[in-house]
Structure 1
């Protein structure tokens, strides 16, 4: 796996200059909405501190809280299943569908099921899985993965969506009016809801104290699916726990504001027990989370509540698009989660950052994202996953910086050489930095030389 994997994928995205700027501006607008909403809450930083401390407690007591959650959920009549990895999670879902004779499935947005590859798994078993979140349905038609965890189709313009809907649900050719397209999607999905035997949802928060869980949506599709279908399968990463129902208000105030700038999601749906004559299952999934918990430098990444704020603010994500990360969770948070899953495959992601710290500044649960990115860079380099040419360059630079006489000599030679070297050599393929930048004018002397001349002045 080459170190330039992310950079090369990003090159494809930025070939369309107009779309790159549009993507950048759109996400920055969402970031600004977040700022305006947060500034309207005087106790915003207190909420962040409280949420972060609550998640610290969860991570240090997760074994006890999981047992408490399971006991209370079972007492409510919910069947609880455990999955050590994606394969076991998918097998559980398939077994539930098979045992209950399910033919038609609707699914609301769930990053966990994307992580586990559930749709493809069930499709291979002969099921037609219908994503009912509008953005998810768009990219499902387009046979794409989400490019953002909250705004899955943010990389597509309304013209693109019009073409996709024309091809798949028969909207008028060339139609791009959002209201028209949304209404067409509503009519298309309503039939799917009525036909469904089972509804699959993710989980935003599981409450250990009650055994209940909360699903947050803006479209009400999770409610529609679960209320009409006889089977509800909820898929939850084990880190999504909070200890008490009283903690929920803190997280609900933070989640939507951080994600889109809304005061709260349109629907915050609470599930505790199945309705009479219906069944409810919850699958608690590890899939590498315990291993991440055991990494002292990186365990705080498990605090993530999947708001996407770090993506909306990240100058790299905004300008390179979600697909350049080649991971279920892209952007800064994905860049510290993904290497823990497959270090070799995702070794380039921690380097896809300016380390500006903006991601940490906006994180509602105060994950030290930029510090973890830096830690992963060190770990990747030490464990031999960095590019050979880069490692050699760093060794030479380290040796040179450690020898003041050699540093002065090399600096002087470089300044002289650059004055006479033709641009065709300076900006050759070897100089990746120079692809989109011009070097500044070469100074006559170094700062050290200038200082020695002028120190008495």
Structure 2
């Protein structure tokens, strides 16, 4: 018997009830928000760079077929082998088959949300191939048997205290001092020999450079370089929207990506891979494979979601989202969490499974405000809401509630009477200036106190102000 899916409301309720998770989320997103603000203060050209980044991505999206052909041609000329995957399952199958053809017993993997999207970790495990996650945060995720909860900080849901305990249980030579530096050294000791003994390296790509056929990867730990250099085979998986026309365009977007993601000027390591090892090269893979993945991206072009293809995966929308900062990434239930995930999950998993996410948004607009390529995320989310309504996916209770709301608001006298009654009735539940519980809205007050409302409704106060102004204006 197949287990029933856990809906967003249940996942969100579980997250809200976990005080440790709230601490872990706030430590990470709060720091990211502050660092981004500082980075933008020292980069007054940000808005100009933002407009340029938007134009670059829109140009590529409008000419995607041209740049895909150009990239493939130049990648093959460099010695790479290019593979095309229409779906997630096809992409993961291609990668597993390449690993088997290489006789791989152990593969090292650089953090890649595209890999998570196509189910690659599970596919490698099912194939009996040892998978070693080399990014520190992904290493933590793997030890905990979790999935990533953030696209930049995958183990954001773990506190340093929890990580320390996991390392003591799993590492051969765990840390002795309870410091972050000591824990990093413990992970380094654990992973070092695995870097050097892997048969295949698997990475993603932040950008695909059309005029050179190169892939670009940015990291702050150096694990990508250690992962991709020693093995005989290097496999890159990337979504087709990662294309840029040239290296110059890639650096224009890097200026936006890094500041928005981590608050830095540039990442520690920015690496361009262009084909396998050439005669005279001292290191590098003997085989270089690039798997280009569609998985719904072409469909997004025709379904009113092409602006989402601008996304450079910085995570800023999550760090500033009032909902994400309360419930974290796992509550969203898909590969991509936060506002971007609320738009993308219905693409990958179907609207019937992902419709709740669009309704979780407060529509305050902060996500679009901080997006480095100005993606209209609230507009796209409203589009999903509209489509869910038109396709009859909204439950009967929602439809009935909206009918009642429409009936009341289309009759001003009834609306004024109802709101006045509601404001005065809420006084009965006021305790120390807060509302700690209300009938029929327990979901709102179960995990938070609401400020008590004003003594009168907004319309009543406006009417009194207008009357006073008219009295003052009389001669």
Q: Does TM-score exceed 0.5, indicating one fold?
A: yes
Alignment counterpart, residue 347 of structure 2, candidates 330, 335, 340:
340
1:178-212 Cα offsets, whole Å, 9 max, x none, are: 11111111111111111101100001000111111
Which position in structure 2 is the counterpart of 1:358?
366
Taking the TM superposition and a 5 Å limit, the aligned residue runs for 1:55-94 are: 55-94=57-96
| Per-residue deviation, 1:224 | 1.0
| Per-residue deviation, 1:385 | 2.3
| Per-residue deviation, 1:443 | 2.8
1:280-316 Cα offsets, whole Å, 9 max, x none, are: 00000001111112122x2101111111111111111
Alpha-carbon separation, structure 1, partners of 2:378 and 2:303: 16
| Per-residue deviation, 1:449 | 5.8
Change (3 A) 1:450 1:225: same
Which position in structure 1 is the counterpart of 2:282?
none
1:384-410 Cα offsets, whole Å, 9 max, x none, are: 222322221111111211122332443
Q: Give the conservation status (yes or no) of the 8 Å contact 1:134–1:185.
A: yes
**Structure 1, unaligned stretches of length 5 or more?**
none
| Structure with more contact order per residue of length (Cα contacts < 8 Å, sep ≥ 6) | 1
Answering whether residue 261 of structure 2 is matched by residue 259 of structure 1, we say: yes
Taking the TM superposition and a 5 Å limit, the aligned residue runs for 1:429-444 are: 429-435=440-446, 436=448, 437=450, 439-440=452-453, 442-443=455-456
Alignment counterpart, residue 308 of structure 1, candidates 280, 297, 315:
315
Which position in structure 1 is the counterpart of 2:226?
224
CA-based RMSD: 2.6
Which position in structure 2 is the counterpart of 1:5?
7
**Structure 2, unaligned stretches of length 5 or more?**
279-284
Which position in structure 1 is the counterpart of 2:325?
318
Q: Give the conservation status (yes or no) of the 8 Å contact 2:343–2:358.
A: yes
Which position in structure 2 is the counterpart of 1:115?
117
Taking the TM superposition and a 5 Å limit, the aligned residue runs for 1:206-217 are: 206-217=208-219
Q: Give the conservation status (yes or no) of the 8 Å contact 1:4–1:348.
A: no
Q: Give the conservation status (yes or no) of the 8 Å contact 2:24–2:156.
A: no
| Per-residue deviation, 1:267 | 0.7
Change (3 A) 1:20 1:415: closer
Alpha-carbon separation, structure 2, partners of 1:3 and 1:199: 34
Alpha-carbon separation, structure 1, partners of 2:159 and 2:443: 31
Q: Give the conservation status (yes or no) of the 8 Å contact 1:310–1:333.
A: yes
Report the secondary structure of 1:13's partner residue.
helix
Taking the TM superposition and a 5 Å limit, the aligned residue runs for 1:127-138 are: 127-138=129-140
Please identify, of 287-296 and 6-15, the stretch whose mean Cα deviation from structure 2 is larger: 6-15
Change (3 A) 1:25 1:356: farther
Please identify, of 339-348 and 135-144, the stretch whose mean Cα deviation from structure 2 is larger: 339-348
Change (3 A) 1:22 1:132: closer
Change (3 A) 1:415 1:227: closer
Please identify, of 100-109 and 10-19, the stretch whose mean Cα deviation from structure 2 is larger: 10-19
| Per-residue deviation, 1:413 | 5.0
Change (3 A) 1:66 1:242: same
Alpha-carbon separation, structure 1, partners of 2:200 and 2:136: 19
Change (3 A) 1:415 1:326: closer
Report the secondary structure of 1:149's partner residue.
coil
Answering whether residue 281 of structure 2 is matched by residue 299 of structure 1, we say: no
TM-score, scaled to structure 1:
0.93
Which position in structure 2 is the counterpart of 1:197?
199
Please identify, of 127-136 and 415-424, the stretch whose mean Cα deviation from structure 2 is larger: 415-424
| Per-residue deviation, 1:14 | 2.1
Alpha-carbon separation, structure 2, partners of 1:323 and 1:258: 22
Answering whether residue 400 of structure 2 is matched by residue 389 of structure 1, we say: no
Alignment counterpart, residue 438 of structure 2, candidates 409, 427, 433:
427
Which position in structure 1 is the counterpart of 2:281?
none
Alpha-carbon separation, structure 2, partners of 1:234 and 1:285: 11
Taking the TM superposition and a 5 Å limit, the aligned residue runs for 1:139-218 are: 139-172=141-174, 176-218=178-220
Which position in structure 2 is the counterpart of 1:377?
385
Change (3 A) 1:443 1:69: same
Which position in structure 2 is the counterpart of 1:102?
104
Alpha-carbon separation, structure 1, partners of 2:315 and 2:74: 31
Which position in structure 2 is the counterpart of 1:456?
470
Change (3 A) 1:106 1:441: same
Q: Give the conservation status (yes or no) of the 8 Å contact 1:3–1:387.
A: no
Please identify, of 166-175 and 391-400, the stretch whose mean Cα deviation from structure 2 is larger: 166-175
Report the secondary structure of 2:470's partner residue.
coil
| Per-residue deviation, 1:10 | 1.9
